[in-house]
A and B are shown apart, each in its own frame.
Chain A
């Protein structure tokens, strides 16, 4: 096949991909999803997949979903998305940060197909970015952790040193410290999003260092299983993980993607889809706080719920001064709120955290 016929075929396939909506209003609209982990990982990918199932139930026959699990972040993701676009998908959701460049590349090749990329920062005329303010949930968990720890040591299983995770560590520490000035935070870097064995090892390492409350920024339930054996506390992450309540799971930070998926697919059906870059939190319902278990004393529960409600109402922002950077230099003055431009690229710890961001 020579270059010209190839380009024609791509163009034809693209045209075909965008045709059904105009020509056959009754035919289902094809929407694609790619996941970084297995659909039953118990965490991140599973909660995207469950939200997709909800969206599917909402739209019924109007929408056809095509999904691919366990897609590595790189050339493979590009191929899978291209395949979906060629197959007629009109809207494709790439549900992991590492898909950002591949999504951008595929979006460039298929100007008539819409793309949505989770947790990144790059957009294009046919590519949106959506992200959740997970750190708002960490603020609530940090408050509970600060009250519940007896050893005054909180552990944090970090995945990769990206802004989202640094926001989480800072937010946890700031709010634990507010209710318990003696608290320390220990961080272990797992360098993975999903690896139950590694996550369990990281949890054990934190327990061995004396931590009795551990937060995970990885996706499996392995940390909770390890905490249960050790009699320590933890939180559900990405999903509610209610099966570990009342202990070790005290509460959870839940990713609520379904409303967003329904909203965006509806926009596609209505022909009103436009590229955007959104960062939703507790207020918009993209971050949910799981029921606080009975292992938490009533006054602590009330305190945590009040914090959650003030974040939901918009009256409190988790990154509000006075806050210094780790090296002691000033960051936010009293009452000053960190801007999204700074938060979205956050690369330093706040004062008091005795740890280093891996270099």
Chain B
């Protein structure tokens, strides 16, 4: 008989092996699913995992992986700080939208002027927008002990309504023939967030994501604040005795994650998405929650998890187009990855023991 036994301390081996095993299991079971759909599983898996990186058109797809991964990584790193301290910001999607609206709005207020300071000002405004939206659940939690999970999530829908209103009203392109959506931010040189080196996919958001990963690593590893965040999550009572203020930590974590989501939002509308319009947000704020956990809440892990996630999107799409796989099959494949990660993750805290039962 098999029995689960709790480990005295989490296994370091499984902490890092779990994602690898999960990916391997996904390939096997996903391959079976593709085979059941009548496709060659090896070709499908190769199309998803290999071709975007090393295939014929990898020169294009490698850059696209960065474009797809950067906003998710930027948001996920911010979320991971709070998640470590047991502060659950589920509303990054809303903070992402507000960042885009603040940043884009400030930029368009200057249209059609050309000044060097417009772009930095947009970035500041975007961080402020995301920060403010994150502060609402934070202050409500600190003051009235509301549940930040619920408040931050519901504020996503408020942000979406605000986005619709802005796209149809204040920010609507006056030369857009009545169609909703702002002027193009990507075609307005003062706000554009272009590809910095042609073909690499690298825009300011990619650079910001890299810098934030590095800074967060330093913060968590070398700074007292990082220690406090980790302590608050692992041993809240001990943290309180050590003089960590829970309220201060809530405000800080919600604020930082909100500001980073806001930045991601602006970089997206000023670059790849191009303009503020209804539905420009395609769920990066929610994907980031998954990526944060997939990356074990560590900056380096999130970097890798974000790239892996991007790979399943870009490669999955290729498989869908070229092999005629339904997009639902690709979504199921992505779902499997998470399912297996959670399943395998159990071995981090538990070990499987074979117990021989005596015949009674």
Contacts and interface: CB of A to CB of B under 8 A. Distances in A.
B68 to A, nearest CB: 8
Given A1-B59, A7-B198, A191-B278, A69 B327 contact: yes
Given A1-B199, A101-B184, A346-B178, A83 B279 contact: no
B322 A66 contact: yes
A161 B164 CA distance: 11
A80 B317 contact: yes
Contacts of A10: 59-60, 199
- Which of A87, A98, A160, A359 gathers the greatest number of chain B CB atoms within 10 Å? A160
Interface residues of A, number: 44
A79 B317 CA distance: 9
A68 interface: yes
A279 to B, nearest CB: 14
Given A3-B199, A9-B59, A67-B321, A358 B282 contact: no
B344 to A, nearest CB: 29
A191 B199 contact: no
Given A72-B282, A163-B177, A347-B178, A359 B169 contact: yes
Nearest to B314: A79
Contact of A6 (B67, B164, B198, B280): B198
B272 interface: yes
A135 B165 CA distance: 26
Interface in B36-94: 56-57, 59-61, 64, 67
Interface string A150-173: 000000000011110010000000
A6 B279 CA distance: 32
Nearest to A346: B178
A304 B169 CA distance: 37
Interface string B309-321: 0000010011011
Interface string B169-211: 1000000011110001000000000000111100000000000
B335 interface: no
A86 B60 contact: yes
Interface in B259-287: 268, 272-275, 277-280, 282
Contacts of B282: 72, 74, 76
Contacts of B326: 38-39, 69
Nearest to B268: A75
B317 A83 contact: yes
A347 B169 CA distance: 13
A3 B200 CA distance: 9
Contact of B278 (A121, A160, A359): A160
A209 interface: no
B59 A163 contact: no
B243 interface: no
Contact of B327 (A38, A79, A162): A38
Interface string A1-35: 10100110110010000000000000000001000
B168 A87 contact: no
Contacts, number: 102
A84 interface: yes
B318 A83 contact: yes
A7 B199 CA distance: 8
Contacts of B67: 75, 79
Contacts of B321: 32, 66-68, 80, 83-84, 87
B232 to A, nearest CB: 37
Nearest to A191: B164
B324 interface: yes
A141 to B, nearest CB: 23
A13 B322 contact: no
Contacts of B277: 98
B354 interface: no
Nearest to A39: B326
Contact of B328 (A32, A38, A344, A345): A38
A74 B274 contact: yes
A70 B326 CA distance: 10
Given A67-B324, A75-B67, A79-B67, 20 more contacts: A3-B198, A6-B59, A10-B60, A38-B327, A69-B326, A72-B279, A72-B282, A74-B274, A75-B272, A78-B272, A80-B321, A83-B61, A83-B318, A84-B321, A87-B57, A98-B277, A161-B178, A163-B178, A345-B177, A358-B164
